[in-house]
Structure 1
Amino acid sequence: MSRAIAVFAELPVALIGIFAAIWSWNHGVRTTSFGPAIDGAPATAGTLYDGSWIALAFLLVTIAAVLLVDTARRLAPHGEPA
């Protein structure tokens, strides 16, 4: 696979992965407000984290990061030290 084709294939996939990670993170965090339990008490809010969505977000970010690093490596001139 030529370098240019790989770069143009990996870069959009990495960007889609980042947007999918943001989407899945937003689906994994839910905030709920509760009214006061007793008259005069303050209202409270609770946040529920769904582990499946959060884990998917971390996986997508990891894959996107690997693709971005590989894209940067492919764009670097040959023979340049890392």
Structure 2
Amino acid sequence: MKSSAERNARRLARAAESLHSCSYYAPEIHQMKRFGYSGWWHSYFAYRSAPLGAASAREVVDLFYNFAPRMVEQAVPGCWEILDP
């Protein structure tokens, strides 16, 4: 039997998933190409990490812990040369 904390956490995760998915599937991500971003991942890291300011690759790796560091390093901090966060 699951604890009430586990049940509440699962309910919250299900409720928040639709909001989280927007960052992957929003049509706006494709509009980033007009500014000079080269591909989906380059755009993704730029718009998702922009609220942090001009974050370094290390900061983004640490905060977005499930991405391979090399993948992040291909986009950050170079994405800040295209547009300021």
Which structure ranks higher in relative contact order (CA pairs < 8 Å, sequence separation ≥ 6)?
A: 1
Identify whether the pair has TM-score above 0.5, normalized to the shorter chain.
no
Classify the TM-score, shorter chain. 0.3 to 0.5
Q: Give TM-score, length-normalised by structure 1.
A: 0.33
Report the TM-score when normalising by structure 2: 0.32
User: Radius of gyration: which is bigger?
Assistant: 1
